[in-house]
C-alpha cells in the first residue's frame, strides 16, 4: 500500500506541475509529505485527489493545488520563520516545515491542534510549534515573522498579523466573504505600510476570531 501511495503522490506532483506550479522546492515538499497520513481512515484512498476533504470539527484539508500555490506565493527560503494561522489537519504545516527554518502554527480548535501535533511528531517533523489560540491575534512573543500564511477565509487582513510581519516579509491570506475569497499577498514595507497584490479565487472555511468572522 505504501508503494501505491508513493505512486499516487508522484502523479499528484506531475499534475500540480502541469497546472502551473513552478517552484521545484514546493513540488519536492508536496512529494515528501504523505497526505494520506492527514485524512480520516475511510478517506485515505482519496488522499491524493486534487480536492479538499473533510476532517474533524467540521473543517477541511485543503485541495493540494491550493496548498502548493499558497506555499509558492510565500517565496520561502530555508532561513525563514513562518506563522501559520489555522493548523487544521497539519498537512499545510508539514509542507511549510520542509521549506522553512521554523513554523509557528495557531489553531483555534484544541482537538485539531492536538491531532496535528501527534501526526507531525509521528512523521519526525520537529521544526514546528503548535498552540491553541485565536490566530487572528497572532503570536506576538515570537514575532516578527518572515512569512505569514492564513489558511481560512477572512473578511480583511487581520491588522495584528500585518503588524507582526517583518519588514520585507510576505503574508498570504484569502480575503472575501464567507462563500468565496481571493488570495491576497501583502508585503510589509519600511515605514509600516504594505503593498497588496490580488491573486486567484479560492473557497476556504471562515477565519473565526477577534479579527475575523464571528461565530454564527
Radius of gyration of the chain (CA): 16
DSSP 215: P
Give the active site residue among 62, 77, 105, 140.
Answer: 62
- The answer for residues whose C-beta is within 8 angstroms of residue 123's C-beta and 6 or more apart is 33, 34, 37, 94
Q: Is 62 a catalytic residue?
A: yes
CA 189, CA 168: separation in Å to the nearest integer?
Answer: 6
DSSP letter for each residue of 57-95: GG-EEPPHHHHHHHHHHHT--TT-EEEEE--TTSHHHHH
DSSP strand pairing (145-150 vs 81-85): parallel
Query: Exposed, middle or buried, 127 (CB in 10 Å: 0-12/13-18/19+)?
Result: middle
**Residues taking part in catalysis:** 62
Amino acid at each position: 500500500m505504501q508503494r501505491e501511495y508513493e505512486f499516487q503522490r508522484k502523479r499528484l506532483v506531475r499534475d500540480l506541475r502541469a497546472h502551473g506550479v513552478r517552484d521545484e522546492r514546493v513540488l519536492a515538499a508536496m512529494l515528501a509529505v504523505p497526505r494520506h497520513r492527514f485524512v480520516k481512515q475511510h478517506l485515505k484512498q482519496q488522499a491524493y485527489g486534487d480536492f479538499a476533504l473533510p476532517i474533524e470539527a467540521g473543517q477541511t484539508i485543503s485541495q493540494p493545488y491550493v496548498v502548493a500555490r499558497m506555499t509558492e506565493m510565500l517565496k520561502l527560503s530555508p532561513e525563514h520563520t513562518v506563522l501559520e494561522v489555522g493548523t487544521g489537519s497539519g498537512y499545510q504545516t508539514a509542507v511549510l516545515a520542509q521549506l522553512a527554518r521554523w513554523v509557528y502554527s495557531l489553531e483555534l480548535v484544541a482537538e485539531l491542534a492536538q491531532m496535528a501535533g501527534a501526526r507531525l511528531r509521528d512523521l519526525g517533523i520537529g521544526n514546528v510549534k503548535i498552540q491553541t489560540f485565536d490566530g487572528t491575534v497572532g503570536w506576538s512573543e515570537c514575532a516578527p515573522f518572515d512569512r505569514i500564511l492564513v489558511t481560512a477565509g477572512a473578511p480583511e487582513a487581520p491588522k495584528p498579523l500585518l503588524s507582526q510581519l517583518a519588514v520585507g516579509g510576505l503574508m498570504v491570506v484569502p480575503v472575501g466573504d464567507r462563500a468565496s475569497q481571493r488570495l491576497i499577498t501583502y508585503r510589509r514595507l519600511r515605514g509600516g505600510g504594505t503593498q497588496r497584490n490580488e491573486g486567484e479565487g479560492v473557497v476556504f472555511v471562515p477565519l473565526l476570531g477577534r479579527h475575523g468572522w464571528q461565530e454564527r
